[in-house]
Structure 1
Amino acid sequence: MNLPVTRRFGPLRDKHSRPYLVTAGLSMMADNIEHVITYWALWEVFASPWLVGFQVISHWLPFLLFSVLFGGLAEKYDCRRIIQAAQILFALVSLSWGLLFLTGTLEMWSACVLLVLHGLAGALWGPAEQLMLHDFAEPPELPSAVRLNATFKSLGVLAGPVVGSALLLALGPTYGIFVNILFYLPMNLLMIRTPFTGHVRSGHVHRERISILDTPRVLRTVSNDRVLVGMIALAGLIAVCVGASLQVAMPNFAQNLGAGDKAGIGYGALLFANGIGGVVGGILLEATGILKVDVRGAVIAAVMFGLTSLIVATTGHYAVALIALVIGGIANLAATAIGQALVQLRAPEHQRGRVVGVYSMIGSGMRTGNGITLGWLGALLGVSGAVAVGGAALVVGALLIAALIALQARRELRA
């Protein structure tokens, strides 16, 4: 599906979408600041490997269980209010962490509850945030809006550890987490001012009953669209094969590359290279249009992400790993942004929120599975070996998905 040529950085020229993109980046930064502060504090208090594992599960499992339900809510209700509810929940969780730190009453059960609530806030935010892009952008510029939204959120992910570490050092975990609440306010205030609801352009509001069991029905509805199914499958493949394994395995890579004992500088540079790739990638792809918003573009990006992950896991050269991480960050953003845009463009209008929810369920929720496969393969092959297998599997799987889509297209032409 090729779209007509549109303005470069078109959504950034619009007075409504520009602040939306910026505030989304700020909220994503606040999300990551909370991770930096709370994960450090939780390790200081409990030093529990079990809790470390639960941190990953609690963040992604709500996406797996509730994304379609939350997508249905985004179809039925004003997306501004859903976004505000998610941002307020984020802020209340930060406030609760701060109060527990301040009073010294943090316990394991309360930490687990707050971790789950934080994950729920992220899952609730996702579908409504994506539907709002349909109001801000004309259909030809929707891929650009999706790509720039991902870019600003990548910038938030990149800035979160930096700002979070600064707050932790300057104010400590208690007052640092209180300050973090302020970063959620801009998007809340914007949702009061913006005239868009997520339904203005389409004029469609879902009236049917919403159920947590909608997922099978939605999948059956879109099963005849090979591109939709292929992009959802590709998102799941990326999540399961690579997911968050690069970040988790980074200390191991730094040690293998001889950069683990340089006061953290070598390790930090690897993390930064992985993050900056997403930011630079979004800008380059928007400026050049080098990858089209079609199946071929998504598959090329996914294959590149798999290859660079394989290189990072197997190379013995620090410079090669840095370059591969930057290219991998670009490829990861391209694959997910193209897949997201295709899903939103091809989703039936009356089910768009739930289809976006399915994409989020698979693309984000299946990262829970990545933790399981990483642990299992890591025990057999070592962490680097597990990441290498995941990268290779992504390459093979992406090519297989492309071949199946092409085969189905040929069958339809013959019919």
Structure 2
Amino acid sequence: MASFGALGRALSHRDARIFFGASLTAWTGLWMHRIAVTWLAWELTRSPFWVGMVAFCDLAPAVVFSPIAGAVADRMDRVRLTMIAQAAIAAQAFCVALLTMTGLISIGPLLFFEVIGGIAASFAQPARQALMPGLVPRSDLPAAVACNSLCFNVARFLGPAIAGPMIAVFGVVPAILCNVAAYVIACATMPLLRPEAEHIRGHAPEASLLAEMLEGIRYAATHPGIGPIFLFAGITAVLLRGVQEILPPYVERLFGQGAPGLALLTAAIGVGALIAGLWVASRGRTAGATRLAVAGVAAQAVFIAGFVATGWFPFAVACAAAFGASASIHGISVQMLAQSAALTKMRGRTLSLWGLITRACPALGALVLGLAGEAFGMRWPTLCAVALALMVALWGATRIRAWAKHLETT
């Protein structure tokens, strides 16, 4: 238990427990929703391209809105902004459920409402994450960041584990309605938080919203540690993370499985991510996190290659779990480094760019893989992406010391 002391310290704070409990609830609902809408898109179209478009419409709004959301989060009450954004996500999910229940759903409205949800999520992410340093002492922040990512990965296991059987028996509507309830609960917990005043709002407005947005982009891009590792993470997210966003075509075309198989694969990814996240969280420090971020990408590439190269579903499930573990190590490490290295007044804008990477880059990868999958099948385009990712990982390995000098501050 001593090895989990850092994680225990992060959870010893009242506000942290409320925050992470709400996060786990919301993200469990989110993963149930993702499984439901990707399967709904597959049932409506039987097309990898349209499944990729659903993921793209959910995640791609971050390209436009994340930098704006970061600037807003640095000048507005972050608690209030989070509540508004979470309420919008709940409303969007309810509309999708209502259209599906009434038989009026088609791929067009589904894409429209996924765009709306993506915009709302772009505002929720930086506002909520920027509150975290106000919930725990600075010495516990690395463990808190890891715990936050851990909650996401626990939800990535729980959501599909609940949604898969639910969809198989009752259809997609109950899973989507669970997301509505989850975000209503998360929204209701926000007034219970008592973060330090300096973290509720980054700073009073100093210039126009556009000027502050551009200032945030310049800050991250010119930072000798944050800029390069964000670039590294973005390129590799395009190449590798799209696989996870369009699992239904892989599940059916490579392995002949249905909705239960999809849920099993997604849950396996979540289990791997959970185990790896517990390990990273137990470290409770940024020292060595740069090396982990780079190694995590190389490992993702290897396990994705194993996933698509096999036709044996049990081996694919094992590769999915290992892929989830390596993706968790990479993602937690990068977020921990960026959140620790960023200036307090720039934190919202910095985290909004991280949100852009984690949402828009997988969306682009999903769209490209969906298009390529229509023409060449799912296996060979994925293996080409893996080869490119390994080349990028090799470049990152040569830059570890230079990046760590500016990122591993604690």
TM-score, normalised via structure 2 length: 0.85
* Cα distance in 1 between the residues matched to 2:332 and 2:273: 11
Match of 1:231 among 207, 229, 242: 229
* Cα distance in 1 between the residues matched to 2:193 and 2:357: 30
Confirm whether residue 284 of structure 1 aligns to residue 283 of structure 2: no
Based on CA coordinates, which of the two structures has the bigger radius of gyration? 1
Q: Which amino acid aligns with 1:234?
A: F
Q: How has the CA–CA distance of structure 1 residues 184 and 385 changed in structure 2, closer, same or farther, with 3 Å as cutoff?
A: same
* Cα distance in 2 between the residues matched to 1:337 and 1:86: 23
Q: What does 1:2-401 align with in structure 2 at a 5 Å threshold?
A: 7-41=6-40, 51-106=50-105, 109-168=108-167, 172-174=171-173, 177-196=176-195, 200-201=198-199, 204-211=202-209, 216-246=214-244, 248-249=246-247, 252=250, 256=254, 259-260=255-256, 268-287=263-282, 292-315=287-310, 320-375=315-370, 378=373, 382-401=377-396
Aligned-pair distance for 1:106? 3.9
DSSP 3-state at the match of 2:142: helix
* Cα distance in 2 between the residues matched to 1:49 and 1:384: 13
Aligned-pair distance for 1:325? 2.5
- Residues 41 and 54 of structure 2 are in contact (CA less than 8 Å); yes or no, is this contact kept in structure 1? no
TM-score, normalised via structure 1 length: 0.84
Aligned-pair distance for 1:239? 1.3
- Residues 30 and 184 of structure 1 are in contact (CA less than 8 Å); yes or no, is this contact kept in structure 2? yes
Q: How has the CA–CA distance of structure 1 residues 169 and 363 changed in structure 2, closer, same or farther, with 3 Å as cutoff?
A: closer
- Residues 142 and 286 of structure 2 are in contact (CA less than 8 Å); yes or no, is this contact kept in structure 1? no
Q: How has the CA–CA distance of structure 1 residues 94 and 194 changed in structure 2, closer, same or farther, with 3 Å as cutoff?
A: same
Q: Which amino acid aligns with 2:266?
A: L
Q: Which amino acid aligns with 1:135?
A: G
CA deviations 1:290-329 (Å, max 9, x no partner) are 9845322211222222222223233566555443332221
* Cα distance in 2 between the residues matched to 1:173 and 1:380: 29
Q: How has the CA–CA distance of structure 1 residues 166 and 143 changed in structure 2, closer, same or farther, with 3 Å as cutoff?
A: same
- Residues 135 and 194 of structure 2 are in contact (CA less than 8 Å); yes or no, is this contact kept in structure 1? no
* Comparing 47-56 and 184-193, the one that deviates more: 47-56
Say how many residue pairs are matched.
Answer: 402
- Residues 230 and 401 of structure 1 are in contact (CA less than 8 Å); yes or no, is this contact kept in structure 2? no
Identity %: 20
- Residues 51 and 370 of structure 2 are in contact (CA less than 8 Å); yes or no, is this contact kept in structure 1? no
Q: How has the CA–CA distance of structure 1 residues 44 and 213 changed in structure 2, closer, same or farther, with 3 Å as cutoff?
A: farther
Aligned-pair distance for 1:133? 1.1
* Comparing 346-355 and 126-135, the one that deviates more: 346-355
* Cα distance in 1 between the residues matched to 2:371 and 2:98: 38
DSSP 3-state at the match of 1:207: coil
- Residues 38 and 173 of structure 1 are in contact (CA less than 8 Å); yes or no, is this contact kept in structure 2? yes
* Cα distance in 2 between the residues matched to 1:171 and 1:268: 15
Q: How has the CA–CA distance of structure 1 residues 375 and 208 changed in structure 2, closer, same or farther, with 3 Å as cutoff?
A: same
CA deviations 1:229-283 (Å, max 9, x no partner) are 1221122022111013145356537765xx536x776665433322211111111
**Alignment partner, residue 413 of structure 1:** none
- Residues 98 and 174 of structure 1 are in contact (CA less than 8 Å); yes or no, is this contact kept in structure 2? yes
DSSP 3-state at the match of 1:300: helix
CA deviations 1:2-58 (Å, max 9, x no partner) are xxx972432222221012112111111212222334444555566676643431221
Aligned-pair distance for 1:222? 3.6
Q: How has the CA–CA distance of structure 1 residues 58 and 319 changed in structure 2, closer, same or farther, with 3 Å as cutoff?
A: closer
* Cα distance in 2 between the residues matched to 1:265 and 1:221: 45
* Cα distance in 1 between the residues matched to 2:318 and 2:279: 16
* Comparing 111-120 and 82-91, the one that deviates more: 111-120
* Cα distance in 1 between the residues matched to 2:243 and 2:130: 29
* Cα distance in 1 between the residues matched to 2:275 and 2:402: 34
Q: How has the CA–CA distance of structure 1 residues 28 and 40 changed in structure 2, closer, same or farther, with 3 Å as cutoff?
A: same
DSSP 3-state at the match of 2:241: coil
* Cα distance in 1 between the residues matched to 2:343 and 2:285: 28
* Cα distance in 2 between the residues matched to 1:379 and 1:102: 30
Q: How has the CA–CA distance of structure 1 residues 242 and 190 changed in structure 2, closer, same or farther, with 3 Å as cutoff?
A: same
* Cα distance in 2 between the residues matched to 1:294 and 1:149: 16
